[in-house]
Amino acid sequence: MKIIAFGDIHEHTDHIAAIEDLSRADYVIITGDLTNTGGIERSRLVIDHVRRYNTAIFAQAGNFDRKEVEPFLQGLGISIHGNGIILGTIGIFGVGGSNPTPFNTPNEFEEHEIRSFILQGYRTVRDAPFKLFVSHAPPYNTAVDALKSGGHAGSKAVREFIEEYQPDICVTGHIHEGKGEDRIGRTHVLNPGPLSQGGYVELIEGNEGLSGALKQVRARGI
């Protein structure tokens, strides 16, 4: 099984066509921030654009999406926020939005709310052999939540969950300058950066289990 994941689209859809094997992936995951403070109609445009290449989509709203976006995704039957889905041996669960930011973006949660959403989805997939955690906000104090100032802006609830439950992979985003990867125990954490910079994650289920790698669209697509 191959899964392609990306986020922080912010309505910049130009690079979607350049993602290698997007149309041949078994599933596509949008990790959050479909829009730039947009609502349902702008989110619909992004979803429809991705569906030109692959219709097997799961998604969740990010902190820059209005509150109405998550119910819209739920209505489409594709939301993973506070939800868990089992695909073969892989259990996928997610949490959208983010912990509070200095910018008062439309879709922020307190840390205790984030933990509640995570556990809500995790309970559905806890028996799956492999677990893929999709968190728009990265875990706190890691390479993937580091700001240019040297500070960290990730979620403490996300980090605490990973430390305790150790999902195989966590795909995240939100902190654009945090593009990269890290490990918390045995959990591989990947932040591909914003799609406008061409980053995405390729996830492969193979004989060795579930693995993930940072990928970049080819130069002609940037």
Structure tokens at 20: 């290698």
For residue range 56-87, list pLDDT tens digits in order.
999 999 999 999 999 999 999 999 999 999 99
Q: How many C-beta atoms surround the C-beta of residue 115 within 10 A?
A: 18
Please report, as a single letter, which amino acid is at residue 168.
D
Q: Rounded to the nearest 5 degrees, what angle is found at the Cα of 117, between the Cα atoms of 154 and 189?
A: 40
Half-sphere CA count of 22, side-chain side, radius 13 A: 23
Band (pLDDT 50/70/90 cuts) for residue 207 is confident
Give the number of C-alpha atoms closer than 13 A to the C-alpha of residue 109, restricted to the C-beta side.
Answer: 27
222 pLDDT higher than 50? no
The CATH superfamily assigned to 2-221 is: Metallo-dependent phosphatases (3.60.21.10)
pTM of the model: 0.97
* pLDDT band at residue 221 under the 50/70/90 scheme: very low
Distances in Å between the alpha carbon of 155 and those of 41, 115, 144, 168, 185? Answer: 29, 10, 11, 18, 17
Question: 133-158 b/e with 16+ CB inside 10 Å = b?
Answer: bbbbbbbbebebbbeeeeebbbbbbb
pLDDT digits (tens, 9 = 90+) for 79-97: 999 999 999 999 999 999 9
Alpha carbon distance 186, 134 (integer Å): 16
d(CA 202, CA 106): 29
Output the average pLDDT for the chain. Answer: 97
